[in-house]
Chain A
Amino acid sequence: DAKTTQPNSMESNEEEPVHLPCNHSTISGTDYIHWYRQLPSQGPEYVIHGLTSNVNNRMASLAIAEDRKSSTLILHRATLRDAAVYYCILRDGSGGSNYKLTFGKGTLLTVNP
């Protein structure tokens, strides 16, 4: 099963950009890279996903390496509400039925005021 590796924790200051890295060296050609975040006492929340090209939405940007073995979630201006555990996962987009969705331990992001 393809897996991801993330730092256990990162710290940022409010209104500064944050770059959250994720390594996925065993990614397959049909795996999409998804990012979710989880606030205390809540279920994970979808942030962004992509396949090969960089992606932007109102929450964040996703930068995907050319060889797709790593990606970076970019929060352009961190706010206190962005403090959460961020998960990078691979989700099979081939239509096959034999994949197992794997979450890593995630990165705990602390945002300092």
Chain B
Amino acid sequence: KAGVTQTPRYLIKTRGQQVTLSCSPISGHRSVSWYQQTPGQGLQFLFEYFSETQRNKGNFPGRFSGRQFSNSRSEMNVSTLELGDSALYLCASSLWTGRDNSPLHFGNGTRLTVT
């Protein structure tokens, strides 16, 4: 079974630009969540989608948004990039969310550098 796939693997953008990151979950997984990882803040939860609906959202500004498609693939978008947005963005999928409490399966992330 293929794992979680994130594209692109590396990205360099300029301040003020916007960026879209993509995540393909494990086949059959319906929940996709996104995380930002930086050396200073560690892993921080961005948001979680299930069946095309955002179920939870972390404490990030509105510049960070996401969506999930009917095939469970997900994208996250960051608008008006700032230098502080430079980070590793990780996507994780799970079978379900809530009562099933299935484990998270992470991709290897997209490394975003903002210059």
Please indicate whether A and B come from the same complex rather than being unrelated chains. Answer: yes
- Chain A interface (Cβ < 8 Å from any Cβ of B): 32, 34, 36, 41-46, 49, 87, 91-106
* CB-defined contacts of A92 to chain B, threshold 8 Å: 98
A100-B58 contact given A42-B108, A87-B43, CB 8 Å threshold: yes
Does B98 lie within 8 Å of A100, measured CB to CB?
Answer: no
Residues of A contacting B104 with CB < 8 Å? 34, 36, 44, 46, 91
Interface residues of B, count at CB 8 A: 26
**Are the C-beta atoms of B42 and A43 separated by less than 8 Å?**
no
Secondary structure class of chain A's binding surface, majority of residues: loop
Nearest B residue to A34 by beta-carbon distance? B103
Q: Does B65 have its Cβ within 8 Å of any Cβ on chain A? A: no
By the criterion CB–CB under 8 Å, are A100 and B43 in contact?
no
Q: How far is the CA of A96 from the CA of B115 in the complex (A)?
A: 39
Shortest CB distance B49–A (Å): 12
Judge whether B55 is part of the interface by a CB distance below 8 angstroms. Answer: yes
Residues of A within 8 A of B107 (CB): 43
Closest chain A residue to B98 by CB distance?
Answer: A95
Other-chain contact of A101, B42, B45, B98, B100 (Cβ < 8 Å): B45
B70 on the A face (CB < 8 A): no
Q: For B72, what are the chain A residues with a Cβ–Cβ distance below 8 Å?
A: none
> Chain A residues with Cβ under 8 A from B99's Cβ?
93-95
CA distance A96 to B45 in the complex (A): 16
